[in-house]
Amino acid sequence: MMYEWSDIETAVELTKKGLSINDIKKFLNYEIKPVITPYDLLDVICNYFKVHPKLVKGNNRNRKYVRVRKMFSYFACIKYNIIQSDVAYILNKERTVLVHYNKTIQDYIDIKDSETINNIKNINDLINNGKEIHRL
């Protein structure tokens, strides 16, 4: 892997501050992750919950659709660092709604909600193992 000079300088400075190589790689975002677009991610999550993406993008307040929107927002914004305004555009929501969605999922994780933790683990497995995802 080729590093840019600025990456090397940053790594030296971080090493001086006591960070490990793994921490520096995380900071520089050089972890290997599968390439996935926000729309691919939405499809994976919708298929996991057996919901069509068009139903998730509306204002329907059905718990099933809201749960999918929250999970998509969490994965897109927190796990993949996709810009909130882009995620809000995909879901046809205000950016502030995503802040609420992400906080809600984080609260479930903090209280160790088994359903949420299992859903996150299973979606991570689908994405990272490259299992074939079929469109609805």
pLDDT tens, N- to C-terminus, the chain (136 residues): 556 776 777 778 778 878 787 777 766 665 444 546 899 899 999 989 988 888 898 788 899 999 999 999 999 999 888 999 999 999 999 999 999 999 999 999 999 999 999 999 999 998 887 654 433 3
Q: What is the pTM for the complete model shown? A: 0.69
> What are the b/e assignments for 96-131, b being 16+ CB within 10 Å?
ebbeebbebbeebeeeeeeebeebbeebeebbeeee
Alpha-helix runs per DSSP H in the chain: 5-16, 21-27, 38-49, 53-56, 63-73, 84-91, 95-110, 114-128
Domains delineated in the chain: 1-32 (no CATH), 38-128 (1.10.1750.10)
Cα atoms in the 13 Å half-sphere on the side-chain side of 66: 10
